[in-house]
């Protein structure tokens, strides 16, 4: 089934998608409509154009593939499934996500992965192919964020305040030198063999969608950001 979005109001478009009996749906000429596939499961949705805010919010098992850029809050609080973006995405991508995976070919705006958390054995994963804006992984509580830094010449592919307030999870950056000026809550170390083994399935998924050699990519230099247990920040969020 192909649904042409054009200038259709987002509420009407989402009603059409939900009413469609097909498991495989293509949305053409998307022009910023919000909430596409919000809370949906069991479907494969292909979007051509630019979906609006909260694409795949509360996603519960769908696969969404976007041929274009996505706006803010993609994958907000998603539970499971996969979102693939052949382009870049806006702010707060993966906000509060509890499971599933988001693959972004290009760049990510501010506050990517904010409040991500592992939930009942689920591990949310956000892979950014280019670079990320400020406050990446802010208040990170669980999950894995990978920033590949393609096109930035080996520089740290993040901006200011990376990992501010993180108290769980892991941020992995492909770059030639460790980033400077990290918050006190963040420890940084060079990737180990175990870290690379954890990365590999997600690098393979990225290269399968967007091209590249996953093994060669995995062999390059990475730095791993983890919470500093001495900083005490986790005491605001957890109880032992």
pLDDT score recorded for residue 188: 97
Tens digits of residue pLDDT in 114-152: 999 998 889 999 999 999 999 999 999 999 999 999 999
Which CATH number, 3.40.50.150, 2.60.40.2890, 3.90.1170.40, 2.160.20.60, labels domain 88-230?
Answer: 2.160.20.60
pLDDT for the residue 119:
82
CA–CA separation, 148 vs 145, rounded Å?
A: 10
Structural domain spans, the chain? 88-230
Could you tell me if 26 and 49 are in contact, meaning their C-beta atoms sit under 8 angstroms apart?
Answer: no
Q: What pLDDT band is residue 87 in, cutting at 50, 70 and 90?
A: very high
Query: What's the rounded mean pLDDT across residues 53-80?
Result: 98
Q: What is the pLDDT averaged over residues 190-212?
A: 97
* Residue written as token pair 């809050």: 73
Whether 45 and 64 have beta carbons less than 8 Å apart is answered as yes
pLDDT of residue 240: 45
**Cα-based distances in Å from 156 to 24, 43, 171, 172, 182:** 39, 37, 12, 11, 12
Q: Place 236 in a pLDDT band, splitting at 50, 70 and 90.
A: low
Tell me the average pLDDT across 165-183: 95
Q: Which of 12, 57, 9, 49 is nearest to 31 (CA)?
A: 49
Give me the mean pLDDT over the 202-218 stretch.
97
Whether pLDDT at 36 is above 90: yes
**β-bridge partners, 27:** 3, 47
């Amino acid at each position: 089934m192909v649904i042409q979005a054009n200038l259709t109001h987002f509420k009407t478009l989402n009603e059409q998608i939900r009413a469609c009996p097909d498991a495989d749906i293509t949305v053409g000429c998307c022009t910023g409509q919000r909430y596409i596939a919000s809370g949906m499961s069991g479907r494969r949705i292909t979007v051509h154009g630019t979906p609006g805010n909260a694409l795949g919010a509360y996603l519960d098992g769908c696969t969404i593939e976007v041929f274009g850029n996505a706006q803010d809050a993609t994958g907000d609080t998603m539970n499971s499934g996969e979102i693939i973006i052949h382009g870049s995405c806006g702010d707060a991508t993966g906000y509060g996500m509890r499971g599933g995976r988001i693959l972004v070919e290009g760049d990510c705006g501010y506050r990517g992965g904010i409040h991500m958390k592992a939930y009942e054995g689920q591990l949310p994963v956000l892979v950014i192919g280019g670079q990320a804006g400020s406050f990446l992984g802010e208040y990170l509580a669980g999950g894995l964020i990978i920033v590949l830094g393609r096109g930035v010449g080996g520089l740290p592919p993040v901006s200011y305040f990376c990992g501010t307030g993180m108290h769980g999870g892991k941020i992995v950056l492909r770059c030639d030198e460790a980033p400077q000026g990290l918050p006190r809550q963040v420890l940084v170390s060079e990737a180990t063999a175990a870290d690379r083994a954890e990365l590999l399935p997600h690098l393979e998924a990225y290269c399968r969608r967007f091209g590249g050699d996953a093994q060669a990519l995995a062999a390059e230099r990475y730095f791993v950001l983890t919470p500093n247990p001495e900083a005490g920040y986790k005491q605001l969020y957890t109880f032992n």
